Amino acid sequence: MVQACAMSEADDPVDYLRRLGRLGDGPHDIARAALMLASLDHPGLPLGGAQAHLDEIARIAEAEAPLVAQAEDGARVLANLLAGRFGYDGDRLTYDDPRNADLIEVIARRRGMPVALGILYIHAARAAGLKASGLNTPAHFLLVLAKAGGEVLIDPFHGGAMLDPDRIGGPPRMGGHESAHLVETVSDVDVLIRLQNNLKIRALETGERGRALEIAKRMVLIGPRKAELWLDLARLNEALGVLGDARKAYEACLEIAGPGQSLHNEAALGLSGLKRLIN
């Protein structure tokens, strides 16, 4: 069941995302959450048009639900809807453009990177009555759709094409007793964090450390129980000389990561070194 996180046109994005973070990993209204994350980079921009587009996608997908008896049917419906009807496709020419990880820009341009497009496919899939999850593939974001006991792997960057797991070296077919995953499914919050991480990496690559810090704060907002996010936030704050915030982030990491865990040890060392700087 999708966990509800109410939103109104006048809702503050930070408040919305903080509520989402408190609800846990999801499933959530993932496209709406991605829209709210994008809105942080478009202050004052009305979201009505983008939200209406998401609603239209959901309405059409829901109307197609009677045609979706199997996962493969669902994959075809989604490809026809998002790639065929609305023209969504991967941005192969300017892949590293930050706009490709900004859902407002993705909707406007009909181009994006795999995880941003994947969020739209998840949104449509669930409206069509499919179970949809992101996969923890390291290099290229993929989705698994499930219906009536069957599953299919799709690539949102290439028009929602169905993939043969054996040919790409990805997860084995996950039905029946042969369900040991080489690649695990991930939560909605993990998908949103992956979306933001793309923005953070690009900011660091271009030397925009302040921008990277802002993105790291957003990641903690939606994943407040993930120790690794607090450790990353602590290090970015420390690098920028925001030592008070760095200390709080190290302490948050220590509180979440239990003693003996590598993250706990790293945070303890970082905090110890930071205290020497402060004192």
Q: In whole numbers, what is the pLDDT of the chain averaged over residues?
A: 90
User: Considering the domain boundaries, does residue 74 fall inside one?
Assistant: yes
User: Considering the domain boundaries, does residue 204 fall inside one?
Assistant: no
Q: Are 145 and 132 in contact (CB under 8 A)?
A: yes
Model confidence pLDDT, tens digit, residues 201-234: 999 999 999 999 999 999 999 999 999 999 999 9
Least confident window among 23-27, 41-45, 215-219: 23-27
The mean per-residue pLDDT over the stretch 56-79 comes to: 96
φ, ψ dihedrals at 103, nearest 5°: -65, -30
Comparing 249 with 178, the larger pLDDT belongs to 249
pLDDT band, residue 172 (cuts 50/70/90): very low
The mean per-residue pLDDT over the stretch 29-58 comes to: 97
pLDDT band, residue 157 (cuts 50/70/90): very high
> What's residue 277's pLDDT?
81
Shared domain for 182 and 233, answered yes or no, is no
Q: Are 34 and 192 in contact (CB under 8 A)?
A: yes
User: Considering the domain boundaries, does residue 252 fall inside one?
Assistant: yes
Least confident window among 67-71, 75-79, 257-261: 257-261
Single out the residue in 186, 211, 239 at which a domain terminates. 186
User: Considering the domain boundaries, does residue 178 fall inside one?
Assistant: yes
User: Considering the domain boundaries, does residue 7 fall inside one?
Assistant: no
Comparing 121 with 1, the larger pLDDT belongs to 121
Shared domain for 171 and 253, answered yes or no, is no
Shared domain for 178 and 230, answered yes or no, is no
Single out the residue in 166, 186, 206 at which a domain terminates. 186
Shared domain for 253 and 142, answered yes or no, is no
Task: Examine the pLDDT at 138 and tell me if it is beyond 90.
Answer: no
Model confidence pLDDT, tens digit, residues 81-97: 999 999 999 999 999 99
Shared domain for 128 and 251, answered yes or no, is no
Task: Examine the pLDDT at 197 and tell me if it is beyond 60.
Answer: yes
Range of the domain at 33: 13-186
User: Considering the domain boundaries, does residue 219 fall inside one?
Assistant: no
Amino acid residing at 105? E
Shared domain for 69 and 172, answered yes or no, is yes
Shared domain for 154 and 30, answered yes or no, is yes
Comparing 198 with 166, the larger pLDDT belongs to 198
- Rounded to whole angstroms, how far apart are CA atoms 77 and 142? 17
> What's residue 217's pLDDT?
98
Task: Examine the pLDDT at 240 and tell me if it is beyond 90.
Answer: yes
* Sole residue written with tokens 């810090």: 213
User: Considering the domain boundaries, does residue 110 fall inside one?
Assistant: yes
Shared domain for 179 and 252, answered yes or no, is no
User: Considering the domain boundaries, does residue 196 fall inside one?
Assistant: no
Task: Examine the pLDDT at 182 and tell me if it is beyond 70.
Answer: no
Query: What DSSP string describes the chain?
Result: -PBP----TT--HHHHHHHHHHH-S--B-HHHHHHHHHHTTSTT---HHHHHHHHHHHHHHHHHGGG-SSHHHHHHHHIIIIIIIS--EE--SSTT-GGGG-HHHHHHHTEE-HHHHHHHHHHHHHHTT-EEEEE--SSS--EEEEETTEEEEEEGGGTTEEE-HHHHT-PPP-STT----SS-EE-HHHHHHHHHHHHHHHHHHTT-HHHHHHHHHHHHHH-TT-HHHHHHHHHHHHHTT-HHHHHHHHHHHHHHSPTTSHHHHHHHHHHHHHHHHH-
> What's residue 177's pLDDT?
32
- Rounded to whole angstroms, how far apart are CA atoms 189 and 249? 20
- Rounded to whole angstroms, how far apart are CA atoms 8 and 126? 22
- Rounded to whole angstroms, how far apart are CA atoms 218 and 40? 9
Shared domain for 46 and 153, answered yes or no, is yes
Among the listed residues 60, 48, 64, 40, the one whose alpha carbon sits nearest the alpha carbon of residue 7? 48
> What's residue 275's pLDDT?
84
Task: Examine the pLDDT at 8 and tell me if it is beyond 50.
Answer: no
Domain count, the chain: 2
Task: Examine the pLDDT at 63 and tell me if it is beyond 90.
Answer: yes
> What's residue 260's pLDDT?
81
The mean per-residue pLDDT over the stretch 163-188 comes to: 57
pLDDT band, residue 278 (cuts 50/70/90): confident
